[in-house]
Structure 1
């Protein structure tokens, strides 16, 4: 009787202690499984499966089930089993859109952002386009679910010379094109810094060489050679195509020494050529309808990624997906990270440090030379772009 009487007298305190104890246990269980409840689409690759191991605080890499493959936090794609691919009706498709972009203007970063959209798939690696043999190109596309669209990316698409309307429409009917551009002087300087860096990626150097057909960094074959006058006369002279045999590839100690020849801008240096966006834009306008082309400001993308991605979503007819808290971008530092749905960062390109300053004279000379190209791109962009000189020159390479 004494014990029962005691319990009746203290039952309020006993119930309170039991409630606290149960709350404690439930809280521990919830936080232990927090990731499971808050991000159900995010999976941790397990032992015994097709696990992808890398140095990581927890020993594994976080991965997103993107339908036909797992996408890890370092943007690697791990295809599901053939059985699961068949069960989900996964197929390889030709891209409905291509992301071009002036070199070091963020096309790869935009592709990385699009890779998280639930209705989009992108190839893991850049795929060169050969219109005469499309089979290998399709083979390198990722599998996708029936409702997903494939989007390709390659900065070199902007510099293609063998474009024809019949060729493009036969392979990509209804193709849409997204072009990223940035201040052409900053872009040229960014590429110079990336190539001059001692830690410059061999892969990046080789990708440039592949376009140029000769190794980057070689001296001019004939520094006294006069470029054919017919190629550089008339009001459209700065938009003319240049034969790879005429392009200069030298990299001197300074940017000024590299792009100047006899105190004038060297019109056939590859750093200058790759900043003449108007030429590439005009070629694409000739093969696709204007309404199928979207030209974006790379600096604006780095400053406000969600705003740019919302424009891309509307252009491609995608459902809204991106939020401001998904991103952490800083162009000046070269930091481009995604906080959701998987925490991941785009590996920055190396650059020479400390950053050298450009003289006002070289900036003025290069901008005057590129003015015609700027007018052409503005004509087709059908949108406001900051005028040259409005933004501070940020030389950071933007992958």
Structure 2
């Protein structure tokens, strides 16, 4: 026997206490490994482990850990014609034909639509609203009213392009190009006289820069780095720099270039007001939406007359990506990588000229819509 070993009663009790303490420490460590928080930049967001890029929801699968039954119900959207997936995976997964029939799912003409504007925040707004259980949102831009080929196919073709919805849901689509085509408001009025219309608009200077970056990517994809590129008489003029694109050889704003023209929102809305009542149109501030999406989605809920669903907890700011993402019903659910492309530095003289150009139009827009858009111009 080792001379240093303590065989006294006190020594044996001391050993037992040490063993119990070690066991408690191991148990606490193990429980900590099963749950907790996941760091994202400077914040900590409640989450859980999952395979792949996102959830593939299935009613036959058990609910994710650490979620109560009420959250699980919300997660699967039991009243909808689809199950939710992540934005990366397409947002929606259509139910089986038997389920569609059981739930009374049909393709219906839109009750509401986002009709503008390009690079104003339309895609992000559509993605967020798609998770509201009272909204069935078509995920593609249908472009029915800007495509003569599609219109020739008729209204039933348009209806068939919509997403399945239940009788209790608002059917929606989003096509930002509708805002700028002069003949579109009359065509929408003829087919959808009672439709509710949503337009989300950014500071027109910021919108123009964002559109320039978008068009550069589009041109690069179409032209494949060839020396010349045909923009199909689109109305866009895209030079090597933003400054050369929006300022002409005389040093004046090139207002005929769609980079600039699409920021004169008041003209577009005035066309719609010839055919629709003011209460049928909701104007949202895209700059405020970028900074905090919660107030905007609450305004949409009120405008559409649907249930109070979104809370502040649905959204979180991802410091690494630099924009807001969704945390419910699927955690850590962000826009695709194409969102948030870096903007070029623009010289002060070009910015001043653009702001001077847009200022009277922005004031007219504020007066028309009774909304104070606090834009730089």
For this structure pair, what is the TM-score category when the shorter chain's length is used for normalisation? 0.7 to 0.9
1:293 aligned residue: 281
The structure 2 residue matched to 1:119, chosen from 134, 139, 143, is 134
1:127-166 alignment, distance < 5 Å: 127-130=142-145, 133-165=154-186
1:267 aligned residue: 255
Deviation at 1:295, TM superposition (A): 0.7
1:201 and 1:108 map into 2 onto residues whose CA distance is: 22
The structure 2 residue matched to 1:107, chosen from 105, 122, 137, is 122
2:282 and 2:114 map into 1 onto residues whose CA distance is: 9
1:95 aligned residue: 110
Give the structure-1-normalised TM-score. 0.68
Query: Once the two structures are superposed, what CA deviation does each residue of 1:36-71 show, in whole Å capped at 9, x if it has no partner?
Result: 63632267xxxxxxxxxxxxxxxxxxx655621122
2:244 and 2:320 map into 1 onto residues whose CA distance is: 25
2:210 aligned residue: 190
2:102 and 2:119 map into 1 onto residues whose CA distance is: 40
Contact 2:121 2:202 in 1 (8 A): no
2:81 aligned residue: 68
Deviation at 1:160, TM superposition (A): 2.0
2:73 aligned residue: 41
2:157 and 2:72 map into 1 onto residues whose CA distance is: 35
The structure 2 residue matched to 1:384, chosen from 369, 372, 376, is 372
Contact 1:99 1:154 in 2 (8 A): yes
Contact 1:219 1:249 in 2 (8 A): no
1:1-399 alignment, distance < 5 Å: 33-35=65-67, 37=69, 39-41=71-73, 67-74=80-87, 75-130=90-145, 133-165=154-186, 167-197=187-217, 202=221, 218=229, 248-262=235-249, 263-329=251-317, 333-343=321-331, 344-349=333-338, 355-389=343-377
- Aligned residue for 1:271, secondary structure, equals helix
Contact 2:323 2:340 in 1 (8 A): no
1:225 aligned residue: none
2:19 aligned residue: none
Aligned length: 308
Contact 2:106 2:165 in 1 (8 A): yes
Give the structure-2-normalised TM-score. 0.72
Contact 1:195 1:351 in 2 (8 A): no
Contact 2:139 2:173 in 1 (8 A): no
- Aligned residue for 2:80, secondary structure, equals coil
Deviation at 1:170, TM superposition (A): 3.1
Deviation at 1:87, TM superposition (A): 1.0
Contact 2:77 2:133 in 1 (8 A): no
User: What is the RMSD of the two structures over their aligned residues, measured on CA atoms?
Assistant: 3.3
Contact 1:295 1:381 in 2 (8 A): yes
1:126 and 1:297 map into 2 onto residues whose CA distance is: 21
